[in-house]
Structure 1
Amino acid sequence: MKALIRNILGEEFINDIFQKYFRWKEKVQYGIIYPILLKIPFAPNFYFLFSKSFGSEMKMFVGARMDYIKKQHHKTENLFLLRRNIHRLEKGLIMKNRRKIFALDYIEETVTLLKSLIASKNDNDQINWACDILNQYFEVTDAHPKRDNALKIFSTISANRNSDRSFGPFIVPENNKEDQYSFAVLAKKRKSVRFFEPNNIPERSLMDKAVELAALAPSSCNRQPFSFRIVDNPELVKKMAVLPGGTKGFSDEIVAMVAVVGQMNVSPSISDRHLMYIDGSLASMNFMLALESLGIASCPLNWPEDKNKDNKVRALLSLGDFERPILMIAYGYAAKDGKLAYSVRKPLDQLRRYN
Structure 2
Amino acid sequence: MTPGRAPRAPRAAPDHSPPLPPTGVCVLNTLKRIAKDLLAITWIRRVYEFVNRVVLETFGSSRILTHLWFFVSAITFNREQSAVLRGRRDYYRNKHRDRLSHVELRRNVHRLEKGLIMRPRRDVFARDYITETIEFYEEAVAQFAAAPGTMEQSEMDWAHDVLTEYFRSVTGEDATVDAARARFVAAGYAGEFTGKVPHPKEQLSNLSYDDLERLVSQRRSVRWFDQRPVPREEIDRALLVGRQA
What band does the TM-score fall into relative to the shorter chain?
Answer: 0.5 to 0.7
* 1:115 Cα deviation after fit: 0.5
Match of 1:46 among 59, 64, 68: 68
Write the deviation string for residues 16-47 of structure 1: whole angstroms up to 9, x where unpaired.
Answer: 435234543222111x3222213354222222
Match of 1:84 among 102, 107, 115: 107
Amino-acid identity (%): 26
Secondary structure of 2:207 counterpart: helix
Match of 1:173 among 202, 205, 211: 202
Q: Contact 1:111/1:154 (CA < 8 Å) preserved in 2?
A: yes
Distance in structure 2 (CA, Å) of the matches to 1:170 and 1:40? 47
Write the deviation string for residues 188-215 of structure 1: whole angstroms up to 9, x where unpaired.
Answer: 223334455x434443332322222122
Distance in structure 2 (CA, Å) of the matches to 1:169 and 1:151? 20
Higher strand share: 1
Call closer, same or farther: CA 1:179–1:157 in 2, change over 3 Å: farther
Bigger radius of gyration among the two:
2
Distance in structure 2 (CA, Å) of the matches to 1:14 and 1:98? 59
Q: Contact 2:131/2:180 (CA < 8 Å) preserved in 1?
A: yes
C-alpha RMSD over aligned residues: 3.5
* Higher RCO (CA 8 Å, separation ≥ 6 residues): 1
What's 1:132 paired with? Answer: 161
Q: Which runs of 5+ in 2 are unaligned?
A: 1-22, 145-150
1:159 aligned onto 2:175: no
Write the deviation string for residues 257-296 of structure 1: whole angstroms up to 9, x where unpaired.
Answer: xxxxxxxxxxxxxxxxxxxxxxxxxxxxxxxxxxxxxxxx
Distance in structure 2 (CA, Å) of the matches to 1:216 and 1:118? 24
Call closer, same or farther: CA 1:40–1:156 in 2, change over 3 Å: closer
Q: Contact 1:86/1:130 (CA < 8 Å) preserved in 2?
A: yes
Higher helix share: 2
Distance in structure 1 (CA, Å) of the matches to 2:119 and 2:35? 67
Distance in structure 1 (CA, Å) of the matches to 2:175 and 2:93? 26
Call closer, same or farther: CA 1:123–1:214 in 2, change over 3 Å: closer
1:209 aligned onto 2:230: no
Query: May I ask how many residue pairs the two structures share in their alignment?
Result: 206
Distance in structure 2 (CA, Å) of the matches to 1:103 and 1:202? 43
Distance in structure 1 (CA, Å) of the matches to 2:227 and 2:91? 43
1:29 aligned onto 2:52: yes
What's 1:114 paired with? Answer: 137
Q: Contact 1:75/1:112 (CA < 8 Å) preserved in 2?
A: no
